[in-house]
Amino acid sequence: MEVLTDCLASLQQTAGDDVEIILVDNGSTDDSISRVNEEYPAVRVVSSPDNRGYAGGCNLGAGQARAPFLLFLNNDTTHEDLWIEKLLKILTSDDRISSVQPKILNYFQKDHFDYSGGCGGFMDLLVFPFVRGRIFDTIEKDLGQYDDPREIFWASGTAFLTRREIFQNMGGFDETLFAHMEEIDYHWKCHLAGYRVLAVPSAVVYHRGAVTLPAASPLKTYLNHRNSFLLLLTNYNPVNSFFLFFPRLLLELVSFCRELLSLRPHHAQAHIRSLFWLLTHPGIITRRRRKLRALRKISDEAVMRKIYKGSLVVQYYLQKKRYFSRILPTD
């Protein structure tokens, strides 16, 4: 409850009076909602009887929103003054911008980037994501090295501002994903529709991280790998999906072996479960491909100009390139 009240107190202090705060009760079982109703009567609570994950919870809240802009925000964040105004200024400067995200720093080490988002998200061709300030488990200290506003591939679900009309046109978040990678999927669709995504580092948010689902959870491993593979199989055109499938499968097997050698059998099992899910749900893959084909306005070649062409796994683990500026130099 303390995490949530810290977020609401910070949000009320840093957001303007015209900001509508919607809190999604995603199947909670404690007394947090009754306390929010008592202590923050201006906050509108939207409840779901079941946990619909990040994707379903956000879709539920977005469906109740009335404003032309939607701010998706984790409940374990605090915020610097004027951060929403700074995001909104950039978002409204160009109709082709679908989303913007702030700089996301760690709540406990405020001079370090946060694992979830940093200064904007990128991705390699095999759908391994990384951010300015964090690649896999290497997290950089914030020295102002990524303070330039720039185009990114995806904005972090920890905190990003988007246009409600675009969110609706894209079909919202895909609830099949449940949690993890849904914001990458959403912004990939935005790119396919011809929009841009930007990072605005002058707007700053602090994130506790791993409050809902700890990093050591096998479920987190399962969702990350299943959803990443699902995006590879559906968001590219059929030819690119086919040719990228085999090197990605090889890296999945390498990761499986690494988990076994690290004595993490439940995480190794999560890899197998993710592949089994893909094999047993061809209908979902087909339906996703059909939906994305209807949204597509530009070619894979145009979108792939925004995707890192090398292998993040090879660069990080074999060539020991642990910093964003070494893997993808800043402009």
Average of per-residue pLDDT across 221-236: 98
CA atoms of 175 and 172, how far apart (whole Å): 9
Q: Name the pLDDT band for 32 (thresholds 50, 70, 90).
A: confident
Query: Mind listing the pLDDT tens digit for each residue in 287-301?
Result: 999 999 999 999 999
Residue 114 has pLDDT above 70, yes or no: yes
CB 163 within 8 A of CB 69: yes
CA atoms of 217 and 48, how far apart (whole Å): 24
Residue 17 has pLDDT above 80, yes or no: no
Higher per-residue pLDDT: 211 or 92: 92
Q: Kindly report whether the global pTM for this prediction surpasses the value 0.85.
A: yes
Q: Which residues contact 81 (CB under 8 A, 6 or more apart)?
A: 13, 14
Phi/psi for 109 (5° steps) reads -125, 85
CA atoms of 299 and 305, how far apart (whole Å): 10
Query: Mind listing the pLDDT tens digit for each residue in 301-330?
Result: 999 999 999 999 999 999 999 999 999 887
Quick one: pLDDT at residue 212? 60
CA atoms of 69 and 166, how far apart (whole Å): 10
- Determine what percent of the chain is predicted with pLDDT higher than 90: 91
Burial 9-41 (b: 16+ CB within 10 A, else e): ebbeebbeeeeebbbbbbeeeeebbeebeeebe
Query: Mind listing the pLDDT tens digit for each residue in 182-207?
Result: 999 999 999 999 999 999 999 999 99
Residue 27 has pLDDT above 70, yes or no: yes
Quick one: pLDDT at residue 216? 81
Q: Tell me the average pLDDT of the chain.
A: 95
Query: Mind listing the pLDDT tens digit for each residue in 120-168?
Result: 999 999 999 999 999 999 999 999 999 999 999 999 999 999 999 999 9
